[in-house]
Structure 1
Amino acid sequence: MNFQAIRAIYRFEMARTGRTLLQSIVSPVLSTSLYFVVFGSAIGAHMTEIGGVSYGAFIVPGLIMLGLLTQSISNASFGIYFPRFVGTIYELLSAPVSAIEIVAAYVGAAATKSVLLGLITLATAALFVDIRIEHPVWMLAFLLLTAVTFSLFGFVIGIWADNFEKLQLVPLLIVTPLTFLGGSFYSIDMLPPFWRAVTLFNPVVYLVSGFRWSFYGKSDVGVELSLAMTLVFLALCLAIVTWMFRTGYRLKS
C-alpha cells in the first residue's frame, strides 16, 4: 500500500476546502440556522412533541443527514470529475498508484469533509435547541459509515458524469427529494398505512431512522435493519467502483 500517494492526494483534496471556505463551511451553517428559524421556531412552535422529543430537537438528525448526504456526494464527485475534465486523470492512472489507493484518498477526503460539516451542523443546532445523544459511539459510527458510503456513491457519479450538469443531477433531483421524503422532518409513523408502506422503499428512511435512534433511542424502523441497509448500499457502491476500474469505464477514454 502506497501510503505516501494516499496522503498526497488526500492533502490536496483537503486543501481545496480551505480555498472554498465560504462555500464549504459558512454556507451550510447559515442554511442550518435558517432551517431552525423556519422549521424549529415558526413551525415547531405549533407542533406537539414527537415521541417525547420536541420538534426542534427531532429534526436535528434529519438536518445533519441532509447535509451529510449532499456534501458527501458533491465533494467526492467533483474531486474525481475535475481531474477527468482537465486531463490530469491520465497522469494519476499511469503513476504507480493502485485503484484502491486512489479511491481511499478521494473518498477519505470527501468523507472527512462531510463528517466535519456534520459535526459543525450539530454544534450549530445545539445553539437553538437542547440536544441529547444517548448513543454517542453509534452516532459517530452512523455518521462515518454514511459519509463513506455516499462519498463512494459520489465517486461513482463523478466517473459517470460527462459534464458539470450531470454532477448536480443525482443530488438535486434524486437524493435531496428522497431525504425530504425520508422522515427527516417528520416521523413516518405519522403517515397513513399505505403511504408509510410506500415510504419504506425509500432507502434514506433507514439512514435517518438509524441516525435518529443514536440520539434519542427512538426510530421508525429497527436500528439493525438501518445498519444492514447502509452496509448493503456500501457494498453495492464498492462493487460498482471495482467494475469501473477493471473495465476502465470513462477513465481511459
Structure 2
Amino acid sequence: MNLHAIKAIYLFEMARTWRTLMESIASPVISTSLYFIVFGSAIGSRIADVDGISYGAFIVPGLIMLSILTESISNAAFGIYMPKFSGTIYELLSAPVSAMETVIGYVGAAASKSIILGTIILVTARLFVDFSVDHPVWMVAFLVLTAVTFSLFGFIIGIWADSFQRLQLIPLMIVTPLTFLGGSFYSINMLPPFWQNVALFNPVVYLVSGFRWSFYGVADVNIAVSLGMTLVFMLACLTGIWWIFRTGYRLKA
C-alpha cells in the first residue's frame, strides 16, 4: 500500500479545512448552536419530556447526527469534485496510486473533518443543555461509522456530479429532508402507527436511533438493527465506488 500517496491526499484535504476554517467548522457550529438555543432552551422548556428525557437533551444526538451527515457528504463530494473540475483527476488516475488508496485519502479526510466537527458540537451543546452519555464507546463507534459511511456516499456524489448545482442536489433535496424526518427532533413512536411504519423506510432513522441509544439507552429501533442497517449502507457505498473505478464512470470521460 502506498502510504505516501494516502498521506499526501489526506493532508492536502485537511489543509483545505484549516484554510477555510469559518466555512468548514465555525459556520456549522454556529448554525447548530442556534438550534440548541431555539429548540433546546426556548421551545424545549415548554415541551414535555420525551421518553423521560428533557426535550433539550433529547435533540442533542439528532442535531449532532444532522451535522455529521451533511458535512460528511459535503466534504467528500467537494473534495473529489474539484480535481474533476480542474482536470487534475487525470494526474491522479495516471499516478501509481490505487483506487483503494485514493478512497482512503479522500474519505479519511472528509470523515476526520466530520468527527472533529461532531466533537466540537458535542462540547458546545453542554453550554446550552445538560445531557449524559451512557455508552461512550458506542457513541464514538456510531460517530465514526456514520462519518465514514456518509463520506463514502459523498465521494460517490462528487464523482456523479457534473456541475456545482448537481453537487448540492442530493444533499439538499434528499439527505436533509430525510434527516429532519428521521427522528432528529422527535421520537418516531410519537407518530401514528401508519407513519411509524413509513418512517422505518428512512435509513436516517436507524442512524439517529442508534446514536441516541448511546447517549440515553433509549431507541426507536433495536440497536442491533441500527448497527446492521448502517453497515449495509456502508457496504452498498463501497460496492458503488468499486464499480465506479472498475468502469471509469465519469472519471475517464
* TM-score > 0.5, shorter chain as reference: yes
**Sequence identity (%):** 73
C-alpha displacement at 1:10, in angstroms? 0.3
Query: Equivalents in 1 of 2:246, 2:25: separation in Å?
Result: 36
The gaps in structure 2 that reach 5 residues or longer are: none
2:233 match: secondary structure: helix
2:224 match: secondary structure: helix
Query: Equivalents in 2 of 1:32, 1:241: separation in Å?
Result: 31
Query: Equivalents in 1 of 2:120, 2:153: separation in Å?
Result: 23
C-alpha displacement at 1:99, in angstroms? 0.3
Query: Which residue matches 1:205?
Result: 205
Report the RMSD for the aligned CA atoms in angstroms.
0.5
Query: Which residue matches 1:177?
Result: 177
2:134 match: secondary structure: coil
User: What is the one-letter code of the residue matched to 2:229?
Assistant: M
Query: Which residue matches 1:122?
Result: 122
Query: Equivalents in 2 of 1:120, 1:10: separation in Å?
Result: 21
Query: Which residue matches 1:6?
Result: 6
Query: Equivalents in 2 of 1:32, 1:82: separation in Å?
Result: 27
Matches within 5 A, 1:90-239: 90-239=90-239
Name the TM-score, length of structure 1 as normaliser: 0.99
Query: Which residue matches 2:45?
Result: 45
C-alpha displacement at 1:4, in angstroms? 0.6
1:8 match: secondary structure: helix
How many equivalent pairs are there?
253
C-alpha displacement at 1:52, in angstroms? 1.2
Query: Which residue matches 1:87?
Result: 87
Bigger shift: 111-120 or 33-42?
A: 33-42
Name the TM-score, length of structure 2 as normaliser: 0.99
1:118 match: secondary structure: helix
Mapped contact 1:32–1:124 kept (Cα < 8 A): no
C-alpha displacement at 1:131, in angstroms? 1.5
Mapped contact 1:209–1:221 kept (Cα < 8 A): yes
C-alpha displacement at 1:38, in angstroms? 1.1
Query: Equivalents in 2 of 1:190, 1:43: separation in Å?
Result: 18
C-alpha displacement at 1:42, in angstroms? 2.0
User: What is the one-letter code of the residue matched to 1:189?
Assistant: N
Query: Equivalents in 2 of 1:54, 1:66: separation in Å?
Result: 19
Query: Which residue matches 1:36?
Result: 36
Query: Equivalents in 2 of 1:45, 1:128: separation in Å?
Result: 12
Query: Equivalents in 2 of 1:28, 1:109: separation in Å?
Result: 17
Bigger shift: 14-23 or 39-48?
A: 39-48
C-alpha displacement at 1:36, in angstroms? 1.1
Structure 1 segments (4+ residues) deviating >6 Å: none
